[in-house]
Chains A and B, each alone.
Chain A
Amino acid sequence: MLSGVTVSCFMLSYLVVLALEATRPFCKVPFRNWLSAGMLTAGIIAHGTFLYYQFAQSLNGSGHLFADWFQWVQVGSFVLAIVCLVLLLRNPNTGVSLFLVPIILLLSVLGLLFREAGSFSIAPGQQVALWRWVHTLSLLIGTVLIGLGAAFGGMYLVQADRLKRKVGGLRKLKLPPLEFQQSVNRLCLLATPVFLGVGMVSGILLKLSESDSVPWFDGGIAATAILFLWSLLAAGWEFLSSGSLGGRRSARLAIANFLFMMMVLLALVLSSHGLAGQGEESSPMQSPAEVSS
């Protein structure tokens, strides 16, 4: 029966959470925090079940996990949903989910766009499998960090603007203190290039293990490299300017990271690299992690 869980099941749960949070400033809902946490948990359970059956199918078919773009992106949104639940429980009565759930939904929708993109071609060999795992997981973490950073970046800008303008009724939509928001932003900004870098290097090593050559001008590699360099630059900028509250810059950088990542992903979906011919899709260098990064 659980195999009948679809993307719409968990997306609907996340949408309810979003609706509950979006209406927070306008109307009172009894037990709103519990309802939000409950719906988010239900969504995560449905999401996890869905991924479990996806992985089971992949193992039965290709024999590998993360067999296609769709699964990879869905795992990314699943991890973000868990992070969102932790933050919701850590910061009750705040609108954290209002900023994180749209990112989760966006990634899920993006996953749907990748659904028909086909599976990856995976070469046999222990070393290939090792690099593939490192490559996939590090870029996945990098993507999650970029998503989290963007949510907190948006939150920071909204909160900073409200505090600057002394907008009344801050209680109606309470957000965590600016300091906390900035520290999450900073963490995301500094950690992202580490994971993107590991992902990129492991992708190159993966390619070398498979075919002894690297197609340096491949779209996936180029996009990953550009995003990595950008995130490195952003992290350097953030690292060199330490500050207690100077978070607008960090927030803007985190949002820029996310927009950059989305552009790369959308470009790959719309281009022949992302969604065109099956043969091209199954090229090892077009693994989901590379494209999404």
Chain B
Amino acid sequence: MPWGMIGWSHHHTPLEVREKLAFSKSQVDDALRRFQQLFPRCEAVLLSTCNRVEMYVATDSAEVFPGLDAIGRFLADYHGLSYADIAAQLMRLPDEEAIRHLFMVASALDSMVIGEAQILSQVKQAYDQACQASTARTLMHQLFQRATMVARRVANETEIQKRRVSIPSVAVSEIAAEFFERFDDKHILLIGAGEMGTETLRYLIDAGANCIEIINRSPEKSQELAQQFPATAVPWEELYERLAVADLVISTTGAEQPVVHRDTFRAARTAHHARAVLILDLAVPRDFESSIAELPDVYLYTLDDLRKVCDRNVEARQREWPKATRIVDQELKKFVAESAHRVSGPTIRRLRSQADEIKREELARLLAKLESREVDPEICKEIEVAFDRLVNKLLHPPLKSLRDHADSKHHANLLDALRHLFQLKD
């Protein structure tokens, strides 16, 4: 049964090219509809994310499989590009390689950041769209359902997705979580409007934070951010006062010099009988003087500290790689065997029915002769059993070979040979 995948990914194709080839949600729908018109007997799923554009195609018969180049040409044409210009950057994977690739993609083993679980939802979304466009039918149902299952196995049986690797997620899920049991009753202060800071804030809001203050040299900017988040904008002049009452501070200003100085900070803390505070200084250059880390009950983490945690987690994920790929390979083997079994089912049934038909005809002829000679009915029964055994014994070796090679590349050839040798008709 032909399967195939053709596409572009971050591995081989630069961003400039990927941008041109990306499909929006509505374009995916449209492309699938057009594909269906061109190749009505094919099933297809189109996965388009910022890191990859991949089209998975399957048919129940090799004769109607359009070929990977034809599919590639279809994708290029859709965007008005010349196939020849982009063909060199294409990834073409036939049969088992395509299936394995999908399992790797769904399990986040082919992602730019290994283990980034977001890809699974994108894979599911692509599959859902194909279902709605009716380009995903039996074969794609089986493939994508299995891919989801493989991804779950990898997530549950390895630690590849358990460790965060982005700075904001590490800041919240690993560092802040060591300090706080809950975030809904914490005073959180965001200094500056850096992207890293706002991203960290998103994670904190997801974790339940709702008492957030934003402080920025530009009041307009802090007001703008305060409208985006459930937060309050605070004037820059209140910086030290707000620092003294905060439980968690995230700082990402673009200042070239530290904006928080040890002595003033200490004085403000003393004046307000400040509590212990966790400071995530994500700015480069740093916003907090490094000596602030020496103050009691002040826990100062810089970008480098967080990056070290991220690096450790990336290494830990890589250590899990062999275990994850073993799961993928196990599942691939099972899936291929099951697919082969499903494909060979009708042929085996036809073979058996053909053999049974011949047996019935011959048996009927023989029994008619024997009855005319008044042979004992017990002997007739023995002959019937002998015929059954004969048919079974004759069919056993070819069927066993077919079963034994279910997960090999010879399976299709064997099946074909069986059809020809026994002249089995569709």
A-binding segment of B59-67, B228-236, B295-303: B295-303
Asked if residues A177 and B178 are in contact (CB atoms below 8 Å), the reply is yes
From A166, A168, A179, A248, B297 is in contact (CB under 8 Å) with A248
- How far does the Cβ of B352 sit from chain A's closest Cβ, in whole Å? 48
Interface centre among A177, A243, A244, A247 (most CB of B within 10 A): A244
Chain B 257-295 near chain A by CB (<8 Å), digits 1 or 0: 000000000000000010111100000000000000100
* Chain B residue total in the interface (Cβ 8 A): 22
From B181, B305, B312, A180 is in contact (CB under 8 Å) with B181
Asked if residues B177 and A177 are in contact (CB atoms below 8 Å), the reply is yes
Residues of B within 8 A of A180 (CB): 181
A169: nearest chain-B partner, CB-CB:
B312
Asked if residues A243 and B312 are in contact (CB atoms below 8 Å), the reply is no
B179 contacts the other chain (Cβ, under 8 Å)?
A: yes
Q: Could you list 7 further interchain pairs (A-B, Cβ under 8 angstroms) beyond the known A177-B178, A177-B179, A245-B277? A: A159-B178, A166-B305, A177-B181, A241-B273, A244-B276, A245-B276, A247-B276
Asked if residues B299 and A163 are in contact (CB atoms below 8 Å), the reply is yes
Query: Within the assembled complex, what's the spacing in Å between the Cα atoms of A246 and B296?
Result: 9
Asked if residues B247 and A245 are in contact (CB atoms below 8 Å), the reply is yes
Chain A 161-193 near chain B by CB (<8 Å), digits 1 or 0: 001101011100000111110010000000000
B422 contacts the other chain (Cβ, under 8 Å)?
A: no
| Interface hits, A239-258 → B, CB 8 Å | 241, 243-248
Q: Would you list 17 pairs from A and B whose C-beta atoms are within 8 A, ordered by A residue?
A: A163-B299, A164-B293, A166-B305, A168-B312, A178-B179, A178-B276, A179-B179, A180-B181, A244-B186, A244-B275, A244-B276, A245-B276, A245-B277, A245-B278, A246-B275, A246-B276, A247-B276
Interface centre among B178, B186, B297 (most CB of A within 10 A): B178
B180 contacts the other chain (Cβ, under 8 Å)?
A: yes
Size class of the A contact interface (CB-based, 8 Å): 20 to 34
Q: Please report B residues at the A interface, Cβ cutoff 8 Å.
A: 174, 177-182, 186, 247, 273, 275-278, 293, 296-297, 299, 301, 305, 308, 312
From B178, B182, B308, A163 is in contact (CB under 8 Å) with B178
- How far does the Cβ of B266 sit from chain A's closest Cβ, in whole Å? 15
Asked if residues A245 and B305 are in contact (CB atoms below 8 Å), the reply is no
Interface centre among A168, A169, A246 (most CB of B within 10 A): A246
Query: Within the assembled complex, what's the spacing in Å between the Cα atoms of A243 and B273?
Result: 9
Asked if residues A245 and B181 are in contact (CB atoms below 8 Å), the reply is no
Contact count A vs B, C-beta below 8 Å = 49
Given contacts A166-B301, A168-B308, A168-B312, contact A244 B177 (CB under 8 A): no
B276: nearest chain-A partner, CB-CB:
A245
Residues of A within 8 A of B174 (CB): 170
- How far does the Cβ of B204 sit from chain A's closest Cβ, in whole Å? 15
List the 4 closest pairs (A to B, CB-CB), nearest first: A245-B276, A243-B275, A179-B181, A244-B275
Residues of A within 8 A of B277 (CB): 245
Asked if residues B178 and A170 are in contact (CB atoms below 8 Å), the reply is yes
From B247, B299, B308, A244 is in contact (CB under 8 Å) with B247
Asked if residues B299 and A177 are in contact (CB atoms below 8 Å), the reply is no
Query: Within the assembled complex, what's the spacing in Å between the Cα atoms of A180 and B181?
Result: 6
Residues of A within 8 A of B293 (CB): 164
Chain A 216-260 near chain B by CB (<8 Å), digits 1 or 0: 000000000000000000000000010111111000000000000
Residues of B within 8 A of A178 (CB): 178-180, 276
Interface centre among A159, A164, A169 (most CB of B within 10 A): A164
Residues of B within 8 A of A179 (CB): 179-182
Residues of B within 8 A of A169 (CB): 312
Query: Within the assembled complex, what's the spacing in Å between the Cα atoms of A30 and B364?
Result: 66
Residues of A within 8 A of B182 (CB): 179
Query: Within the assembled complex, what's the spacing in Å between the Cα atoms of A7 and B297?
Result: 42
